Structure 1
Amino acid sequence: MSSSIRKIFGKIMVLVLLGVTLGTTGLGTVVPVSAAVFNPGLHAGILDQGAAANLDDSDQLTAFIDGIMDVQMGSLQIPGAVVSIVKDGKILLSKGYGHSNIEENKAVDPKTSLFRIASTTKLFTWTAVMQLVEAGKLDLDTDVNTYLKTVKIPKTYKQPITLRHLMTHTAGFEEGGVGYQITTDPGKLPVSIAETMEKHMPARVKPPGEMLSYSNYGASLAGLIVEEVSGVAYNDYIQKNIFDPLDMKYATVEEPVPASLEPYAVLGYARANGEYVTKRPTYEGGFRPAGSGSVSANDMAHFMIAHLQNGRYEDKQMLKPETARLMHSPAFQFDERLPAMDLGFYELNMNGLRVISHGGADELFNTALYLVPDQQVGIFVSYSGGDGGTAAGGLAQAFFDRYYPAHMTQQPAATSIELGEPLEKYAGSYQFTRRNHTKIDKFFSFLTQINIEVSDNRLSIGSGADQQVYTPIGVNLFQEVGGKHQMGFRTDAEGKVTYLFLDMLNPMPLEPAPLINQSKFWLTLLGISVVLFITVFMGAMYRRREIKAKPRAQKWAVWLSVVMSVWSLVTLGATLLVMNMDLIDRLSYIPLSLRLYLFMPLILVGLTASIFMMTILAWKNKYWTLPRRVYYTFVTLAAVTLCLFFDHWNLLGWHFG
């Protein structure tokens, strides 16, 4: 895959994970791909295909990782990072890079420096769930309402939501977060998980078990179940049942971090005017089971070792072996030929190895964790700024290329004749299943779609140098040309495509976007409407003397169209500003500017209703010439189109979650 197409996927995932469609910064997963851009120099230590380096050679391993980090820290503008690698129950490498506090010239310490791990926190929550399953207090396939005391999930569908659904992200919730997902004010903490779950419950939009739709709400709901069934506050439960047994002394899910750990908290940085500047931290509040963790690299190494050793760390058993094996086994599969979703972990195919993984990202921190159960190997990496998502995937792929190089085999491409039908049915626009349907959040998914085209018996994404091409290798299965990734589809009984799965984006499947949801459809209509509105304004300015001489009714009709056109253009301009609102502001509270903006589409509806009535009068009373009446009608239709756009994307009214 070219570096440019990786950047496209990276940007899509950043948009998705940082809230454009999902409404979260601290709770998104890192691009689970290895889909990150490789910078020159990242492959410097990779051996020839098939010649694996010796992972037990710690000096060689350290030199290799140092070389990668040296390149990444500079080229990707990363101020601080940490890496820990484990194998066979031992830490092979745990090392910090850069600074945890630039102003104080404090270096990153892998033993004590607390990196925010965002969604990687979910692994603590899922582990806690499995502990209670093991204790007989929870059952994976029982209605979650059985366990919830303060919140009840509506019975939207016949099938109830279970913990298995929550852990595989197949509960069927929409995603949201505008105005409430995070907070930047520590004075508002602590926040009750139960109250947050009750107040900001998303709609159920798919039957449980049907399809993956990564859900922060679902993970937080699982944390609430842990709290209410165990009788222990979530923070305390994780501390007593995971951190303490695993000797994780520099780990917490509290927000802000406890005073005793505050000196070790790593600051996140952004780049501004050629310098690193600190930015306000964000807190997950009531969503903390999905993303509030701050942990050192050494402590995450303990956690990785426990999972790799079927729940055992030194003489402590965090989970029974059978429970750990169940947690690490496929629990939902889009296609048995593609990576599965386990109970809390998502699977990746890294050079032919089955890897179970999880990541996390907020505005400043990027984290990834990779476990290879068959090799007893684990990798944890976290970055405190810069392009950390790209860096994490790049480091992981470089590691696997060096120590577990792929033995590439040429798979014969299947022809459309062999598949029994042409590939055109796969072409079209696809939208992520993880998106909002009922609130203003829906608008922020307007541009997050992937388009697939067919050419020469292949499918392609992107164009030109950014094009990524897939060739068919089986029914509903495609292989990246010149790459390692695969793409699969689901079809219904009639052969119509229902879902798309890119292994690099597990667990983020897509589904065909109906015409009414396609951004290119709306952009075309809006473009035509804008042209019409501009011609109305320009024409009125040019013909103002002629208009002044018209009869009063006709004069009013013309000036009404001018006012409506100008207001439409201004409203569209304001809509662009709304789309580009500061992400943290948008997710932490409802800005007054957003509340005021939402009056604008409503005013437009009033103007549109007025011009619609005026159009009827124009035809009834035969205002102007026939061509001008037709033109006036098209302007009215443009206004109606704009109103329909605002209505469809939940911008008519105050639809806050």
Structure 2
Amino acid sequence: MPSDKPEGLAADLNDATELTAFIDRVMKSQMDDFKIPGGVISIVKDGKNLFAKGYGHSNLEEGKLVDPETSLFRIASTTKLFTWTAVMQMVEQGKLDLDTDVNTYLKTVKIPKTYPQPITLRHLLTHTAGFEEGGVGYQITTDPEKLPVSISKTLAKHMPALVRPPGEMLSYSNYGASLAGLIVEEVSGIAYNDYIQKNIFDPLGMKYATVQEPIPASFEPYAMLGYAQENDRFVTKPPTFEGGFRPAGSGSVSALDMARFMIAHLQDGRYGDQQILKPETARLMHSPAFQFDKRLPAMDLGFYEMKMNGLRIISHGGADTLFNTGLYLVPDKQIGIFVSYSGGDGGAAAAGVAKAFFDRYFPMQEVKLPPTSANLEDSVQKYAGSYQFTRRNHTDIDKFFSFLSQISITVSNNQLSIGSGAEQRVYAPIGRDLFQEVGGTHQMGFRTDASGKVTYLFLDELNPMPLERTPLLDQSKFWLLLLGISVVLFISILIGFAFRRREIKAMPKPQKWAVRLSAATAAWALATCVATFFILFNMDLLDRLSRIPLPLALYLFMPIILVGLTVAIMALSVMAWKNKYWTVLKRVHYTLVVLAAVVMSLFFYHWNLLGWQFG
């Protein structure tokens, strides 16, 4: 974004004309670049609305423009801020305690005692409860006829496994947020939707805000339509609903109503003559509650921290298949920004708007790296390797969808690198387990165990989603290498089968069937491998999270059949050696094909594709 001010000099935020012109340019640029049909932004400062404006259309077919006062944007996970605020209201009333076992408050759902430590509300608010991620087939729905849905029944039916001790590490969890909403509902005796309306929306005068699904009939004229781009044009898509997970993402709110919510949080719970939180409660909510490293942005009670141009920002984003939202509060400057989009790559656009704003009004001076000591340089190599997100699945079919979601850290010239080519980022050591982006402002940190072995990676721009060392059996490169070798062996057996038909036909019957079965196994293995990547990786996200598509359900027969064929050729391989079929070289080749089938079967087993393992 070109600027007409001297580099490093902050523009005047109180110049309304200049601010309007600047935001107009930024919003138009982002919406054009990321193909977005509708967007909105509201900015508050010192307890007042500084700027609010809609861009594009809320309904392209009817030519309706976005209105910052009335247009209802789906804010997805930003809804969690309402849930966390509700929890903190009940904490200050003495009805809830942050450090008490949540099972004390739950009436219809009980969390298993997987670890000695109980899960508390503090764990839920900081995403450190230890739940795995899940969602395939049940996280959302597009069918309003399936609503309303009970929060408690949904959480009981789709409870994820606990995969790490509570309090150990961040692992962003929609289930945990929904559980907090259920606690609000069951302890207050008021339905979640009604509680949020009565205790947050009504006191703040948020007239165009709801967590109800579908939205009330009176709000339908103001609902933003979600769009996807197909063949260079925008096509309306059905809205998604969170159902029983609504405390984690069901909100639909206008930009000016979100401005009221931002002002209340920036003013320690006060908006006008209304106080939705006591000052000490609001300040506690905005303070670090879990820190990966004290030198890096923390996780507060519901908000996650960011650093931008030297400013401490408390934030929360939200995204579903059609909408993207970003909310940024700067308590020290009494500034808040809310931005939301329908369609396109709104997540990148929201981040771009925030960066452009802070670059213009709070520009960062040049970042100078401190001198690196020799002992820091000597230890850089230990950080290299593959890392996977803590937010992933372990026990269901969902696990496979993290197969390629890994980050590789490489070492060059005593510095760490992520990515390659134009996307490469380089980080230099600036302290024990801490690195600074060369030519940028971002930082990364690591955790090590008592022996000095690296266990976790934290990228400040990805708070609250750290990563952990990827064990060999989870590394995509490891499996892709084995699968590649297996595919070559399968192709070789099929080529041999095609060119040796006369020879095979003349073989004794047991040998003939051994060769035929190996060819059938190879063909089926290749077909299953192709189907795996074609069906699973090409699944529409909406389909994946809302239902079990028939192609997926049918595909899952293929790995099971492959295992059956593998067992059969293993038995025939033993017979081949025992009865000395063919030459030694051919028997070795046959055995290698058997091992390839075993490897592929183990691949499907490890990634939970053997059977119908839905959460």
2:523 corresponds to 1:556:
no
* Of 350, 353, 361, the match for 1:395: 353
C-alpha separation in 2, matches of 1:45 and 1:105: 34
Question: SS of the counterpart of 1:209?
Answer: coil
Could you say which residue in structure 2 is the equivalent of 1:444?
Answer: 401
Q: Does the CA-based 8 Å contact 2:493-2:522 persist in structure 1?
A: yes
TM-score normalised by the chain length of structure 1: 0.93
C-alpha separation in 1, matches of 2:2 and 2:40: 20
Q: Does the CA-based 8 Å contact 2:377-2:414 persist in structure 1?
A: no
* Of 262, 265, 269, the match for 1:311: 269
Could you say which residue in structure 2 is the equivalent of 1:570?
Answer: 527
Q: Does the CA-based 8 Å contact 2:292-2:458 persist in structure 1?
A: yes
- CA offsets, 1:311-346, max 9 Å, x none? 000110010000000000000000000000000000
C-alpha separation in 2, matches of 1:561 and 1:110: 65
C-alpha separation in 1, matches of 2:161 and 2:194: 30
Q: How does 1:17-166 map to 2 (within 5 A)?
A: 42-44=1-3, 47-49=6-8, 51-166=9-124
Structure 1 alignment gaps of length 5 or more = 1-41
Could you say which residue in structure 1 is the equivalent of 2:489?
Answer: 532
Cα offset for 1:642?
0.3
Q: Does the CA-based 8 Å contact 2:367-2:441 persist in structure 1?
A: no
2:227 corresponds to 1:227:
no
Question: SS of the counterpart of 1:655?
Answer: coil
Change over 3 Å in CA distance of 1:467–1:591 after alignment to 2: same
Question: SS of the counterpart of 1:276?
Answer: strand
Q: How does 1:76-475 map to 2 (within 5 A)?
A: 76-415=34-373, 417-419=374-376, 421-475=378-432
C-alpha separation in 1, matches of 2:206 and 2:427: 44
Cα offset for 1:421?
4.1
C-alpha separation in 1, matches of 2:266 and 2:408: 39
Structure 2 alignment gaps of length 5 or more = none
* Of 476, 485, 488, the match for 2:433: 476
Q: Which amino acid aligns with 2:479?
A: W
Could you say which residue in structure 2 is the equivalent of 1:500?
Answer: 457
Q: Does the CA-based 8 Å contact 1:46-1:401 persist in structure 2?
A: no
- CA offsets, 1:381-413, max 9 Å, x none? 000011111110011011001111112341224
Identical amino acids, percent of aligned pairs? 74
Q: Does the CA-based 8 Å contact 1:216-1:290 persist in structure 2?
A: yes
Q: Which amino acid aligns with 2:427?
A: Y
Q: Which amino acid aligns with 1:261?
A: F
Question: SS of the counterpart of 2:118?
Answer: coil
Question: SS of the counterpart of 1:229?
Answer: helix
Q: Does the CA-based 8 Å contact 1:46-1:398 persist in structure 2?
A: no
C-alpha separation in 2, matches of 1:210 and 1:70: 43
Question: SS of the counterpart of 2:217?
Answer: coil
Q: How does 1:572-651 map to 2 (within 5 A)?
A: 572-576=529-533, 577-651=535-609
Residue-pair matches, total: 614
Cα offset for 1:87?
0.1
Q: Does the CA-based 8 Å contact 1:43-1:398 persist in structure 2?
A: no
Q: Does the CA-based 8 Å contact 1:564-1:604 persist in structure 2?
A: yes
Cα offset for 1:53?
1.0
Cα offset for 1:469?
0.5
Could you say which residue in structure 1 is the equivalent of 2:614?
Answer: 656
C-alpha separation in 1, matches of 2:423 and 2:26: 25
Cα offset for 1:579?
2.6
C-alpha separation in 2, matches of 1:424 and 1:632: 41
Q: Does the CA-based 8 Å contact 1:116-1:295 persist in structure 2?
A: yes
Greater CA deviation, 461-470 or 88-97? 461-470
Q: Does the CA-based 8 Å contact 1:451-1:462 persist in structure 2?
A: yes
Cα offset for 1:414?
1.9
C-alpha separation in 2, matches of 1:623 and 1:418: 61
Q: Which amino acid aligns with 2:174?
A: N
Q: Does the CA-based 8 Å contact 1:79-1:385 persist in structure 2?
A: yes
TM-score normalised by the chain length of structure 2: 0.99
- CA offsets, 1:137-158, max 9 Å, x none? 0000000000000000000000
- CA offsets, 1:124-174, max 9 Å, x none? 000000000011100000000000000000000000000000000000000
Question: SS of the counterpart of 1:48?
Answer: coil
- CA offsets, 1:523-556, max 9 Å, x none? 0000111111111111111111111111111111
Question: SS of the counterpart of 1:581?
Answer: coil
Q: Does the CA-based 8 Å contact 1:413-1:472 persist in structure 2?
A: no
Q: Which amino acid aligns with 2:288?
A: P
* Of 544, 565, 571, the match for 2:501: 544
Q: Does the CA-based 8 Å contact 1:646-1:652 persist in structure 2?
A: yes
Q: Which amino acid aligns with 2:483?
A: L
Q: Does the CA-based 8 Å contact 1:45-1:64 persist in structure 2?
A: no
- CA offsets, 1:158-216, max 9 Å, x none? 00000000000000000100111001100000000000010000000000000000000
Q: Does the CA-based 8 Å contact 2:40-2:339 persist in structure 1?
A: yes
Q: Which amino acid aligns with 2:343?
A: G
C-alpha separation in 1, matches of 2:177 and 2:131: 11
Q: Does the CA-based 8 Å contact 1:557-1:614 persist in structure 2?
A: yes
- CA offsets, 1:80-104, max 9 Å, x none? 0000000000001000000000000
Greater CA deviation, 322-331 or 622-631? 622-631
C-alpha separation in 2, matches of 1:290 and 1:45: 41
Cα offset for 1:47?
4.3
Q: Which amino acid aligns with 2:545?
A: L
Question: SS of the counterpart of 2:519?
Answer: helix
Change over 3 Å in CA distance of 1:218–1:391 after alignment to 2: same
Q: Which amino acid aligns with 1:174?
A: E
C-alpha separation in 1, matches of 2:422 and 2:258: 39
C-alpha separation in 1, matches of 2:367 and 2:475: 38
C-alpha separation in 1, matches of 2:429 and 2:30: 35
Q: Does the CA-based 8 Å contact 1:47-1:402 persist in structure 2?
A: no
Q: Does the CA-based 8 Å contact 2:75-2:250 persist in structure 1?
A: yes
Higher relative contact order (CA 8 A, sep 6+): 1
Question: SS of the counterpart of 1:97?
Answer: strand
- CA offsets, 1:398-457, max 9 Å, x none? 100111111234122424x33284211101000000000001100111000000001100
C-alpha separation in 1, matches of 2:327 and 2:4: 22
Greater CA deviation, 579-588 or 106-115? 579-588
